[in-house]
Each structure stands twice: as C-alpha cells, then as structure tokens.
Structure 1
Amino acid sequence: MDTEMAVSMSNFLQDQAARAPEQFQEYYFAMEDLYERKLWKQLTDKLIQFFETPETIPLRLDLYTNFVSAFRSNINQLKAVYIALKAFESCSNEEAFRNLTQLIEGIDEEKFKDAYVYALVAIGRIKLVFNDLDAARDILIKSDKLIERIDYVENIIHASYYSVSADYYKAKADYAQYYRHCLLYLSCVDLEQLSRMEIEERAIDLSVAAILGDIYNFGELLLHPVFQVLVGTHNEWLHDLVVAMNVGDLAKFERLMAHINKIPLLQSSVGLLGQKVRLMALIELVFQLPPNQRTLTFHTIAKATRIPSHEVELLIMRALSVGLITGVIDQVAQIVNISSVQSRILNHAQVASMETRLREWNQNIHSLSNIVEASGKGVFV
C-alpha cells in the first residue's frame, strides 16, 4: 500500500470521525485500523454495518467517494456495488444515475456478472422513475439473460430484479405479471427489514392486481403474511373483497362494492369485477361437488351466479376459454358436463371442506365394503 495514500486515508477518516456524531466515531477508527492492516473482508463487513445504519445516510456519500472508491477493486465486487447503492441514497435521481453509470463502466461484465447485473438493475429502477419504460424493459431483458449465466445468484440480486420487474409491470398495468413478480420479490426478502408503509403498499397493489388481472386463484396471496397487514386498517375492506372474490361470495362482494370508489382503478372496472366474481362463483360451485356429480343445469348455475339463464352459456364459455374448467355444453338440454376444474391453492375453509368430503368418501367406501362382505358370505373362500 502506498504510504502517502495510507496517510491521506488516515487523515480523512480522522477528520470524518471528528465531524461525525459521537455514536459513529468508533466506526471510523475501526475502518482506519482495518484499512492499514489490509483486512479487506473485515473492512467490508464494517462498511456494510455502517452503511446499513439508517442514521448514517448524510455521512455515506463522502465516505464512499473519498475512501471506499479508492480500494473498491480489493473487495468483493457485489458488496462494493451494494455499498455504492447505499451511498447514493442521499443523491437526487439525476445524480444517482450519473454515479451508477460511472460505477458500472468500471465493472468487468464477464468477470463480475453478479456485481454488473446488480448495478444494471439499479439503473433500470431509475429509468422507471424517469418514466423511460422502454429503456427499463431493455435493461430487465439483459439482466434476465445475465442472471441465467450466473452459477449461484445471491438473494439480493433476485430481490432487486423482481422488485424492479414488478414496478415495471405496474407501470405497464400488466396486473398478472405484477402479481407474479411482486410475490417473487417478497419471497426473496426478510419482511422484517421492510417498512410498514412498503408492506401495506405492496399488499394493496397485490390485491388490486389479483382482482384486475387474469388471475383466478388468490390462494398464494391469501396465505401470505403481507396480505394480513390490511386487517385492522382503513383498507381492510380490500382484504375482505379479495377473500370474497376468491370464493365467489356474491352477497359479500355486493356489500363491499360501497367502498370501491376509494381506489379509482377498481371503480373504473366495476363491470370486469362483476364478471370475474361470477366466474369465481361458478368455479367454487363446481369445486364443492364430487367429481362424479359435476353435471350442472343452466338453472343451477344461474341461481349460484345471480345471472339470467340466457347468460349462463356465455359464462361457461368464458370459464372454458381461460382454462378454469373443461367440459361439454349441451345447449339443447341446458346442462354442462364438467370433467375437471383448475387446480387451486386452498384456503383454510376450503381445506376443511375437502377434509369433510374425504371423510364422507371414506365412510362410503367402508359401507360398501361391509355390503360386499355381507353379500359374499358363502361365495368367497
């Protein structure tokens, strides 16, 4: 290590320590010691500890610019990018974009794919802020290809990629893709590290996406802890609406429609919501029936879905077209023979219902066995 540089770094850290709040001064002294001893891993860990402390935001950029950037090549490149992103949190979007562009130019894409893609996705996030959706899309496509070439992908890379992807699809109003990528993002992060505000925002966005998207099974959302944060808040009605739509509860759905004007996206899609909840009511009706008793009259379906009989065939055709059911319509007899229903992630009530049906099936098998045994006496040896 160059002696002059070491002295310069030592002077810088001592000066920063003198200016910093007392509770952070020990960090600077520890950094100085680790730097002089070239203990890069330990120094990296200490830097991350410092940069992850929320109160250090005003101190980070100077430390990164005048200290970390001088030995960045000596430390893990992915962690170096992570530290840089933490430092840029105090910057304006324009300044952060300039800093990130300069940062990524210094990363060898082939040698350090993980660090490169992590920085690239961060640039994609800023492109979304700038509303440059085409550039953000191109970055996400390139990032996806790079991630496929990495042998082991750290969770922070997946989390960053899925987070930006979800935000992109939200901007594009692609509700099904937002729903998928947001759930993937949440699976990659420690929920305790997220703010209550972010968790609630994600819960609202996921609920809206589930309702408006081509999604007909909300089980994964209903069982997710993020969804439960809506309970006890002024948005609990949205939680209840998702639950009602998942099982096609038309009575509850109609009561909750009084709140729909609180979310303009839902208010402008009232007709779509009505169609979807009736599809869900049809699926729930079929799901509750034993597989050998799934021949339904149009009258039964009309009653369960609260639509006129002449609209039943269109409802069934819609369910068939999106793959919710398979079956054959007999228009003359006004019946539909349903052979299968789309697999579902079950909520607790549906699991309990299935348990009841299994117990009934087991009892029927037991009764049949007794009948066969009684009838076969003297015949079977």
Structure 2
Amino acid sequence: MTLLNQVFDIYIDLNITLALTAVVWLTVKLSMARFGRRLAFTVQLGLLNGLFAVIILSPAVVAVYQHLLVVEMVPAALSINLADYAVSQYLRGGIALPAEDFQALLGLRSRFTESILTMTPGLGLGIALFLIAGFIGFGTRLVINFVRLNRMLSTCHDWRRNGRVQLLLSDRAIVPFSARGLIRHYVVVPSELLAKPDDLKLVLKHEFQHLRQGDVAWEIGLELLRPFFFWNPFFYVWKSEVERLRELACDQKVAEHSQVDLKAYCMCLLRAAQAGLRKRQAQTARDRVGNVASVALLEVQDRLLRRSPAQKLRRRVEALLETNRLRPHWGLACLAVLPMIAVILLISMSIQKPADWSQDRLMLSAIVNLERLETINSFGQRPLR
C-alpha cells in the first residue's frame, strides 16, 4: 500500500500544480493584455508547452530535491513545505486552534487518501469508483478514436511522399488535418481541394507549419493524459488554451510569409469552414473522426462548454489583422518565464506531504497529549462551590 500511496500522492500533487499554474498563466496573460503588451502567439504557445512539460516533470524534480535534503547536501533550512510552516506558526501562537483540532486538520489529506485507496464505504468508495469509471471510460474513448483515425487514414489515397511526410487525399475528410504515426507524418486533404490550387497551396503551408511546430505530438500527449485528468476542469482550460494558441500561432507564421496574401488566406479559411459544415451535415456519425492524434485546419464541430466554431474562426481572422504583438528574442522570453518555472516548482515542493516525525510535529503531538491528559484529569476534580 505504501507504493500505491506514493503514486496517488503524486497524482494529486500534479492536479493541484496544474490548477494553480493555470491560474497563474491566465492572471499573467490578462495582466499583460490590460497594459497593452501582448506576446506573439508563437512565443505564447512555446511558453505554454514548456510550462506543461515542467508540470509533468515536477514530481521527479521534487523527488531529487527531497533526496538532497535527506543526504544533507541541501540545508534543512531550505526545506519548503506548507504543512511544516503551518505547524511552526501554530507553535509560535500564530494560529488560534485547539491542538487536537489543528492536528486533525493536518491529517485530513492523509485520511482522505487512505479512504479512497482502501475504498472505505461512503465518500471514499464513491470517489474511488468515480475515478476508476472515468479512467476506463475516457481510456476506451481514446482507443476508439485512435482506431477511427487509423481507419480513416487507411481509406485515403496516397498522393505524394517527401521523407517522413506523406500527403493523402480523402473523400470523407471534413477539413484538412495533420496526423502522425510512430515514424511517419500525415497530411490529409479533401479531394475537392485539388480543383482549387490556390486554396490547396495555403492549406499545405498551414499543415506543414503544424508539423514544424510539433503540434500533433503535443496533441497526442494531451489526449493520452486526458483519462488521468478527466475530472480536473483546469486540464480542459489548459488544453483549450493550447488549441487556441496552436491555430493562432500557425496562422501567424503562415501570414508572415512574403508570398502569402492575407486576404486570400482569410477567404481560404472561410471557404474551408463552409465546405466543412456542408460535409458534416451530409455525413453520418460513423464517418466522423475524433481529433485524437490529429490537428485540423479548423474546427467545424460544436463542443460542449467551448466557444463555437464560428467564434473561433472570427477570432482567427481578427488575430491575423493585429499588428501590436511583441516578438521578443527567445533568450529574453526564456528569462521572463523563469519566475513562472520557479513558481511551479515552489508549488510542487510546498504541497508535498511532510515527514511524519519532525521536531515541530513531536512538539505538537506532545501538546495534544497534554491537552488530552488535562481533559481526563478534569473529570476527577470536584466542582468548586
């Protein structure tokens, strides 16, 4: 059970870290927008992906740091833990609570975790079954979408190949999209685009830019993590932000090309949206392909609790016309993001479960025992007349 407890603690810590980091990111973004300072979409996307990688790797960093504390390569004074800080403040009189109540509050997470892992009847059993059912459900959906995508790729017509990139023509694809396997990258183009060479050229530029940015690989990673974070609303906030910046960054890079006419590119997006909507209405549900492992030119399917495709398309066209975006040097951008990385690691280290037996906790335990002893002794005293 010890290993299971450790794994579940890491899982909870990752969810908390993701939630707090999402709040920090949105706060910084809104603050910059308020002061009229907006980074280029490509820079924002790179920073967002980098921060997510830091979140996923944070448990390993924390484990290394705690090991350095144990072997005393890092001074004990540099230990960062909210629970230990709370105990220290309590012993200094900064928290006005009975010692037994304060100790019970500190052990709330441990008791909650234990009730879930042991499936204690009641709340613990309910949460455990919810997590298991969600993981199985979203995991099954993930497999089904991969199978559907593979089936879609198998029905496409081979058009051209260039190294590991394979161009495919499809009679069923609603809109152009990019996908990848273990080795090959795929760009799927609706067959009717062959009759529109100007639009086809812009579409290929867009999809090749997705491949250069590694957007498909990031999409695969996020979808593989969905069964684990399905219950966390901040995961969907983060994923929605990545999807938004991914398309805006791709549009921005394509529009920066000297040979691309901005008006023609916007009209290409509009025509693709119209064609996609017509095709979606004509096709049955079994012909639709999930977005797993693929990145489409644009979205033409409504999604619950997200902005409509029309709103997203309008936002993309408006963003193409904006010129007040800062394009800082990547060195400066990395330097600016260092505080956010520090915040992520600080959050990860501070929410860790503390050591069971520290000097402060022994003192707290002694205070609790003294209060209990005083309560027991008070029962044997005669009431004052």
TM-score, scaled relative to structure 1: 0.26
Q: Which has the larger radius of gyration?
A: 1
Q: Which has the higher contact order (CA 8 A, sep 6+)?
A: 2
* Structure holding more helix per residue: 1
